[in-house]
Amino acid sequence: MQSLVSKFSHAIRGITYALGNDRGYRVQTALIGAVVIGIFFYFDPLEIWEVLFVILAYTIMLITELQNSALEKALDCIHPDRNEDIGRSKDMAAGAVLTAAGFLLFVIAMLVYGRI
């Protein structure tokens, strides 16, 4: 049981660190989170499946941003000098975040389109 509690504390510490030190994660948590909450109020009432899709897309984006930030931090520690292959790795991780954000925008666009 102690190990399980320890694992949760590491995860909470990681999220707390990202909120305090990673601008991209803060922006996506606060700004895009506000947009998502605004959608819930603007399109009230939403079907449960619509709410779930928006939350799923938003959560995927946040998870992807955390993974991107973790990868970038690790790569910067391993190879602090500029390196073309590491740059490509960072670009691909950023591309994953962009893809997740695109999915969120698609879900929102379909929500809006369904109500026009």
Task: Average pLDDT across each block of 10 residues of the chain; the chain has 116 residues. List them in order.
Answer: 83 95 94 93 90 96 97 95 95 98 96 88
Domain ranges in the chain?
Answer: 2-113
pTM given for the model: 0.90
Q: How many Å apart are CA 22 and CA 10, to the nearest integer?
A: 17
* Cα dihedral 76, 78, 79, 80 in deg (nearest 10): 40
What is the predicted pLDDT for the residue at 2? 73
Q: Which CATH architecture has domain 2-113?
A: Orthogonal Bundle (1.10)
- At 116 the three-state DSSP class reads coil
What is the predicted pLDDT for the residue at 6? 84
